[in-house]
Amino acid sequence: MEATLTAPHILQPAKTERDFRTENLSIYYGTYEAVKGISLPFPEKSVTALIGPSGCGKSTFLRSLNRMNDEISGSTSKGSIWIDGVDINASGTDVIKLRQKIGMVWQKPNPFYKSIYENIAFGPKYHGVKGKKALDEIVESSLRRAALWDEVKDRLKESALALSGGQQQRLCIARALSVNPQILLLDEPASALDPVSTGKVEELIKELKEQLRIVIVTHNMQQAARISDFTAYFYLGQLIEYGMTEKVFTNPENTMTQEYIMGRFG
Amino acid sequence: MRVQNNETMRVQSSKSRIEKHHIEDLVGRSYMSFCVLLLIVSIVSMVYFVTSRGISTFAIDKVSISDFFFGTTWSPEGDHPSFGALPFIAGSFITTLLAALIASPLSICAALFMTEIVPGWGKKLLQPVIELLSGIPSVVYGFVGLSVIVPFLRNVFPGQGIGVAAGALVLSVMILPTITSVAVDALSTLPRNLKESSFALGATRWQTIARVIIPTTLPAIMTGVVLGMARAFGEALAVQMVIGNAPFIPTSLFESASTLTSVITLGMGNTTMGSPHNNALWSMALVLMLMTFLFVFVVRMLEKRRSI
């Protein structure tokens, strides 16, 4: 199996101030190396899809991008994550500040047990936004950006848990947008949703990529093909292939990628 | 349950021999039904017994209900007996509430420490301690209270040391494990990504605990507090050893008082069945029982709220 792996083809864009990429990033759980020295760029105004069979390290990789793995005891990492010319994987990084730049949405919708309004206002309140008017504006604009405003504008004080699953997930996206991040990490955001809600979330992702960078982990090949600009195929913690989505899906360089995309394994 | 046509035939054909698994099923079902029946009968008869005895204070001995609940004089023997149970009801409530006030913050902090702050060795160290605490017999708590807490209170505060404060302190230690373990369960069932959502928005650990974790798990934590209060309310022996057992409404924390349970345990052996004194003790037992029902009811309500 190992022998068939060809060296992954990595695009190396010029380093700029607005750069966001990983460099030789390895992540360990104890001594187990879950992600093995991955270098990946995340170009501006684009969606990058991370695909691969379960346990390939793509979620771990995604979680490391906003240092969420810090919350897991025994998890350590090597290598760099560059954002705006700063290595955020270095010790001494202000993780709290960093996470304002990088929003995250999980597989299962997980609104706080609060009102719709409070769910959105939660983050901004901690970042010093004061006054009802300012918060009202953020709530409205975040909900609009998540294409949820029209559905909930008359029930902002109601519990977020009263919303449907699809609405809850868009609320979580709106919540992530509330702190105005530059990057949005999505961990299988539509896998717990029905097809209609999935369609809405995908529509939303396409719109949002005009404003920020999006990294999405997905098990749904069609979804990756539909919404992403770049695709990275992970296997056993290694990056097997990376490139333009069109290229990866129509003419992959690696046979393993091809087999996975065709559904022959994984 | 309705048997289909073709199935009827099949059942009829095998009618002659009753199959083994049918007998097993029948035996199992009968055994279960018997156990459940026994349980129901014992509970119902207990409730009936306590209620009928408890009511006879008012029905047979003609003590007025308001005298019983609001009277402050307790002298059940003698020519002019008086059955004012308010001092005991007040004593029970005061010690229970105080114990809950002392124990709840400590328990919630302990639970947060075990689940959020140091989930590794914090839990490994504290879990057995908490379990051990709940296994210690109440007489030991009472004894420790009597030989440690009471002398301490006597040296530091005015009074004899025995009294409401000593009772509440002993009770608070006793209900600590109850509240802590319920709180730990509640905190550990919290979906991890709910916390992470808060972190992902740039909230600190403290902000996450205060604004997401505690509000979300509060109904479940309150369940623990109410269960702890139920235990404190019903605890007799340990309280009786340190509270002083004076039949008065305490005016200070360091004064002797009594609780419903302590007066029942002290009095029950010295009264004859059916005497007004004895009946009055049963009335207090009835009050205790109804309070327990109330606690259970509150817990139910909290759980209902939690599931929304």
Amino acid B254: pLDDT: 87
Work out the mean pLDDT of chain B and round it to a whole number: 87
Encoded tokens for B69:
């609940």
Examine the pLDDT at A70 and tell me if it is beyond 90.
no
Q: Is A110 on the interface with B (CB under 8 A)?
A: yes
**pLDDT, tens digit, for every residue of B259-283?**
999 989 888 888 888 888 888 999 9
Amino acid B191: pLDDT: 86
**pLDDT, tens digit, for every residue of B208-230?**
999 999 999 988 899 999 999 99
Pick the more confident residue, B243 or A3.
B243
Examine the pLDDT at A31 and tell me if it is beyond 60.
yes
Q: Which whole number is the average pLDDT over B61-90?
A: 85
pLDDT interval class at A4 (50, 70, 90): very low
Examine the pLDDT at B287 and tell me if it is beyond 70.
yes
Which of B120, B202, B207 is opposite residue A100, by nearest beta carbon?
B202
pLDDT interval class at A5 (50, 70, 90): very low
Q: Which whole number is the average pLDDT over A13-29?
A: 76
**pLDDT, tens digit, for every residue of B173-186?**
999 999 999 999 99
A178:B201 CB<8 A? yes
**Which residues in chain A are contacts of B204 at CB distance < 8 A?**
96, 126
pLDDT interval class at B236 (50, 70, 90): confident
B200:A103 CB<8 A? yes
Q: Is A181 on the interface with B (CB under 8 A)?
A: no
Examine the pLDDT at A2 and tell me if it is beyond 70.
no
The alpha-carbon gap from A161 to the nearest alpha carbon of chain B, in Å, equals 8
pLDDT interval class at B72 (50, 70, 90): confident
Work out the mean pLDDT of chain A and round it to a whole number: 87
Amino acid A18: pLDDT: 66
Pick the more confident residue, B122 or A3.
B122
B120:A73 CB<8 A? yes
- If one looks up domain A2-261 in CATH, what number appears? 3.40.50.300
**pLDDT, tens digit, for every residue of A99-150?**
888 999 998 899 999 999 999 999 998 888 888 999 999 999 999 988 899 9
Which residues are paired to A105 by β-bridges? A186
Examine the pLDDT at B13 and tell me if it is beyond 70.
no
Examine the pLDDT at B238 and tell me if it is beyond 80.
yes
**Which residues in chain B are contacts of A175 at CB distance < 8 A?**
197, 201
Q: Give the pTM.
A: 0.78
The alpha-carbon gap from A233 to the nearest alpha carbon of chain B, in Å, equals 25
Domain ranges of chain A: 2-261
The percentage of chain A sitting over the pLDDT mark of 70, rounded to a whole number, equals 92
- If one looks up domain B86-307 in CATH, what number appears? 1.10.3720.10
A73: nearest CA in chain B?
B120
Q: Which whole number is the average pLDDT over B29-38?
A: 96
**Which residues in chain B are contacts of A73 at CB distance < 8 A?**
119-120
**Which residues in chain B are contacts of A110 at CB distance < 8 A?**
191, 193-194, 197
Pick the more confident residue, B2 or B65.
B65
Which of B193, B201, B216 is opposite residue A123, by nearest beta carbon?
B201
Amino acid B15: pLDDT: 55
**Which residues in chain B are contacts of A71 at CB distance < 8 A?**
195-196, 199
Examine the pLDDT at A53 and tell me if it is beyond 50.
yes
**Which residues in chain B are contacts of A159 at CB distance < 8 A?**
308
Write down the ipTM of this complex.
Answer: 0.82
How many CB pairs (< 8 A) connect A and B? 67
A176:B201 CB<8 A? yes
**pLDDT, tens digit, for every residue of A81-99?**
998 888 888 888 888 888 8
